[in-house]
Each structure stands twice: as structure tokens, then as C-alpha cells.
Chain A
Amino acid sequence: MQKSWRHRFHLPAVIGTIPMILVALGVFVIGIGFSVLWSFTSSKLFPTYDFVGLAQYRRLWADNRWLVSVNNIWFFGLMSITCNMVFGYLLAVFMDQRIRQEDLFRSIFLYPFAMSLIVTGLVWQWALDPNLGLQEALRNWGWSSFSFAPLVSAETALYALVVAGIWQGSGVTMAILLAGLRGIDEDIWKAARVDGIPTWRTHVSIVAPMMKGAFATAFVLQCVGVVRVYDLVIAMTGGGPGIATSMPAVYVIQLITVRQNVGQGMAGATMMLLPVLIVLAFSGILLWRRNRLREAGA
């Protein structure tokens, strides 16, 4: 027993990973634990341990603002992830045509990702601001009837967020998918051409399925970005106009810092964690099953 323990945990490795272990335990496990715990209490400005059961969750799901936030994140998530994947793949295919200046294009496409979302949000906000950006510029150039101010209207503000999200995220998706595309044996393309399979069909039926791993990586990265989307919203719209672009993360932070309602904020945070846990459990089960199948097959 002793021997196998030593065999598994080399001392230098343990020492090296202690900071990471501490961070993981301290921030994630303990932090998440307290969040969940306080979500069952009536905490207001400061955390208390006055347990009220699911009362905070009931109030949360009765709050119109939370419901709008949840709707918004579904819409934002589905739109931006889908568009990011499609654009990213198309860009990757474009880059794979052995174009000149590939490095230049790759830098241009990746550049938005290198910027903080606050900067991205601010740039887009300025560009779309009716008094500073596109609208004003075109009016000054003489097109005086031109009107384009998506951030001011409750109906269009969310679309503007989606566009900014795509602008920011499709470059990374492209980089990941391009790596996947480059990993495909050239003979596969040749074989498909000899078989008379149209190029789009080769992409859909042969190449894309071969890039499952790259797609999964890009998808997970996008999902993480969507669940925690906060800074982009704050910088671009601040959740407005009204509550039109509120998102769960924005809602939770506002409850804790502005509305001094820690209990309900924690309930919101816990609700944000739930889908992540479900996805993790699901993929864990899939992985476990595949491993078992492989062992059985081998």
C-alpha cells in the first residue's frame, strides 16, 4: 500500500501542484460550497445562517428580471455559439486554401480574442452609439436621414451583443478548427474527389465528423464564455435598455452588490452552476461508457 502511494505521488510533483490544489480547493470547492449554502439562507447585505429552505429559489423564479436574464442567455448562447461555429468553420476552410499572407489573416482574425471583453464592449458601444459612432459619421458625410442605433432599442440591443460576441469569438474557433482541418490526411480529400463526392458533401459527411475533437474543444470554450458573459454586457449596455440585455451573471452581481440580497444572488449563482454540472456529468458518463466499450472491444 505504502509503496503504491509513493509510486503514484512523487514529492516534487506534489509540492509543485500544492498552490494549484489550494486554489482549486479554496476558490472552487469552498467558494462554491458557501454559495450553495447561503442560497438556502435569508442573507441580505451580509451572509447569515438563517436557513429558509428553497424560499430564495421561489423568489428568484418569480422575479421577472431573472426570467428575462435566463431567456437572454439562451438566446445569446444559441445565436453566438451557432454563428461562431459556422463562421469559424468557414473562416478555417478559407484559410486552408493555401492563401497568401495566411499569418496576417490569422492575426487579424485572432486579434479580437486577444482583447479584453471590456475593450471589445467599449469599442462596439462607441461604434454603435448614435451620437459618436456609425450613425453620426454617416450623417456627417451627408446621409442625414441615416439611422442605426441598435443599442438604444430593447428589441435590437441583444442582437448587437450577439454580433459583438461573434466578432470576438469566431477567430479562436477558426484557429482551433483550422488546426483540426490541417490534421486531415490529404489522401482523404483525394479519395473523396476520385469517388466523385462534391466538396461541400466531403466537408459535411467526412471531414467534419473527423474533426469531432476540434469541434468539441471549440464548443466547450464557447459555452464557458457564454455562461460567464458579464463584462461584454456591462461595457456595451449595462444590462439595458431597461432590463432588455440582462444576463444571469449581471443579475447575480447586481443582487449582491447593489440590491444587497446575498441569499437570492447565491440562489441565482447556484442555478448558473446547475447546467454546467449536468453537462459535466453527461460527458463524464459518455466518456466512461466509451472507455468501457473500448476495453470490451480490445
Chain B
Amino acid sequence: MAQNGTSVSIQDLSLSFGVVTVLETLNLDVAEGEFIVLLGPSGCGKSTLLNCIAGLLDVSEGSIFIKGKNVTWEEPKDRGIGMVFQSYALYPQMTVEKNLSFGLRVAGTPKDEIAKRIARAAEILQIEPLLQRKPAALSGGQRQRVAIGRALVRDVDVFLFDEPLSNLDAKLRAELRVEIKLLHRKLQNTMIYVTHDQIEAMTLADRIAVMKGGVIQQLDAPQTIYNRPVNRFVAGFLGSPAMNFIDGQAETGATAAFKTGNVSIPLARYAFDAAGNSSGPCVFGIRPEHVALGEAANAMPFAIDAAVEIVEPMGSDTLVWTKLGGQNFSFRVEAEKTLRNGEPIRIGFDPARASLFDSQSGNRM
């Protein structure tokens, strides 16, 4: 399906419980067939937003449109959504087949239609051999597959996922992540997916909405969010190991530079945001993988001498901690590289790949 038309549109949505405001005049348009991930730390309002879209929470202000229809005050079942929960929420006394069919039977769908839909969902999710089992006899991964199946048989336009993989172990999580991605490619449905796991967000999303304090901080393609975070929060939340942040002063003019201690990093290659070319205290951020070592460092626009402090081998690569301008600084090297503590090294990077944030507001400069 082409990415035309808006599938879900949220307009000026606010939600407050008493004096506590959870969501604040939030706007979000999700295109048809798009996979949107709502990403943020716990308590940022991402699950609340999803529950509002599902109709499980009444909103305080604003409106929600699904497929052009105002569903703000519709019951969940009339919104054309299917939802998958973190705890699976399967009906434990019913077999898998009954779990899938119960909603349809209550709605009075014809029997042959139910059978057809269950057969289709079971085939897509490969749960045919499990249909006669009860949830207690299934593994976590199988349960979540059944939970997805229950959303699938509803034959809806929009799928909502509320941290569906958080209860699974790391290996299973990686497997199901791929399966959800394949499922999206096969079905081409709109999917809204809530997670606090940045890897899930990066791998699955067409666009990520990074949330904090009930406000969407940045809504963009994963690569853009990763490479050009709009503020310090987004920069720090995405990426593992985390981005290096160095406090210092920005100096503008003919030779723009970032100064901290006796280190001066030229900012000639840095693409300032339209708004933010000004002097003052700021934070310089660079991701550990954008730092080069040794010969490669000399080829970079900025290079400096440093000494190894701590080496953290992580298997696929190694994280090395050092100091830059007196502040902690980490960078990544190949796992084959053997560095000893205290060893003098030369590191360098291209300031074009860095991010500069205003110390006060935290916004990108």
C-alpha cells in the first residue's frame, strides 16, 4: 500500500488526572501502512497515548481520528483497532482457538467466516498446532503470537502494540522483533508500537516518536533521530553505549569553535540549526562509534592526544574510556584491538557528525 492518506490522526490531545497532566496538546499524524514507534522512558505517557488511541482511556481534550472518522468518544471495538498487550492478556480458561474466536462469536460473526479468519491468522503466525491448547501450556513467545493473532482476526486497519516483547527473554525478543517486522511487511497495516527499548524502536519503525513528560520531543525517521537529535534528552536516550556529552563554551564568528578546558574543537564543518548559531555555554555531543583511533584519527578534521583509562570489551566491539578536556569520553574500537590501561593514544572525529546543544534549554544548536 502506498503511503498516502492518514490512518490515525491525533489533534491537540490532552489528558490529565486531577492536577496531573499526562499528555499535553499532543499532535500526531500516522500515515496509512506506517509503522510508528512511541519511544520513551517509563512514565513518559507513551502507553497512556496508546490507550487513548485504543479508547481505553477517556481524553480530557482534543480529538482522535482513525481513517478520517472521529472516534474520540467511540467504544474500542468500534474504532477498527486491534491491540496486543505486554502481559499477553489471553483468556486463560479458553483454548487458543476460543481466545481468537471469542470476540467474533460475541459480535455474532458467521461461523464459517470465523473459521476462515482463524485459519488465516493461524497460518500467518504459524500457530496451527497450538489451536487446541490452553495459554498455560504455551511458552511466552507462543502466547504473544496468539495475542497478535487475536488482534489479527479482528480484521482491523490499525494495530496497537503495548510493549509486546518486554516480558520475553532477550533471545526470544530478537526473534519476535523480526517476526513483527515481517508481519508488517506482509499485512501493510498501520501499526503503532509502544516500547522503551531503543533497539526495537530503531529496527522496527518507519518513524519514531520520542516522548518525555507527555510531549513528543522528536518525530522522525530512526536514522534522523539517531544522527540529528533535536535535544539533549533525545540524544542521550537513543544509542547504546550512550553519546558523549562534554560541557563547554561555543564561540561563533569567523572561526566557530567549541572550547572546553584547553581543548578547542573547530565547528567550521558543523551544520548549525537555523536558529542556533550563538555563543554561550553549550554541550558538545558525539557518539562513541564516530570517534576514530590512531592513523584514522589524524585524517579527521579534529584529533587530540589522550590516554586509555578503562577498556570494556563487549564481544562484537570494545568500548574505551578516556578523558577529553578533563571530562569522561568513550569511543568504540574493533574487538581485535588490544589496548592497555594508561596507553597513550590519538583520537579524532569529524565535528560534522557531532551534535551541539544549548546548556540552558537542551535544544540543538
Chain A residues at the B interface, C-beta cutoff of 8 Å: 185, 187-188, 190-198, 201, 205-206, 209-210, 297
Q: Do B93 and A210 touch across chains, with their CB atoms under 8 A apart?
A: yes
Closest to B83 in A: A194
Stretch touching chain A among B21-29, B61-69, B74-82, B234-242: B74-82
The CA of A209 and the CA of B55, in the complex, are separated in Å by 26
Are A197 and B103 closer than 8 Å at their CB atoms? Answer: yes
- Find out whether the CB atom of B76 lies under 8 angstroms from the CB atom of A187: no
Contact B106 A196 (CB under 8 A): yes
Whether A196 pairs with B91 at a CB distance below 8 angstroms is no
Distance (whole angstroms) from the CB of A294 to the closest CB of chain B: 10
Known: A194-B103, A196-B103. 17 other contacts (CB 8 A): A185-B87, A187-B85, A187-B88, A188-B91, A190-B51, A191-B147, A191-B150, A193-B55, A193-B75, A194-B81, A196-B76, A196-B106, A201-B106, A205-B91, A206-B93, A209-B93, A297-B137
Contact check, A188 vs B89: say whether CB atoms are below 8 A apart: yes
Given the contacts A187-B89, A188-B91, A193 and B56 also touching, CB distance less than 8 Å: yes
Q: How far is the CB of A288 from chain B (nearest CB, A)?
A: 20
* Residue of A188, A196, A297 touching B77 (CB-CB under 8 A): A196
Complex contact B150–A195 (CB within 8 A): yes
B103 touches A190 (CB 8 A): no
Query: Residue B86 contacts which of A187, A192, A194 (CB distance < 8 angstroms)?
Result: A187
Q: Chain A residues near B88 (CB, 8 Å)?
A: 187
Interface size on B, residues (CB 8 A): 29
- Top 9 closest pairs, chain A to chain B, by CB: A196-B77, A195-B103, A187-B89, A191-B89, A209-B93, A187-B85, A194-B76, A194-B83, A187-B87
A193 to chain B: closest residue by CB: B76
Residue in B51, B92, B102, B137 whose CB lies within 8 Å of A195: B102
Residues of B contacting A297 in the complex (Cβ-Cβ under 8 angstroms): 137
Given contacts A187-B89, A206-B91, contact A197 B102 (CB under 8 A): yes
Contact call B85/A191, Cβ cutoff below 8 A: yes
* B54 interface residue (CB < 8 Å to A): yes
* List of B residues within 8 angstroms of A210 by Cβ: 92-93
Contact A190 B102 (CB under 8 A): no
Bound form: Cα–Cα A209–B76 in Å = 24
User: Which chain A positions have C-beta within 8 A of B86?
Assistant: 187
20 of the cross-chain contacts (CB-CB < 8 Å) are: A185-B89, A187-B86, A187-B88, A187-B89, A190-B85, A191-B85, A191-B89, A191-B91, A193-B56, A193-B75, A193-B76, A193-B77, A194-B76, A195-B103, A196-B76, A196-B78, A196-B103, A197-B103, A206-B91, A210-B92
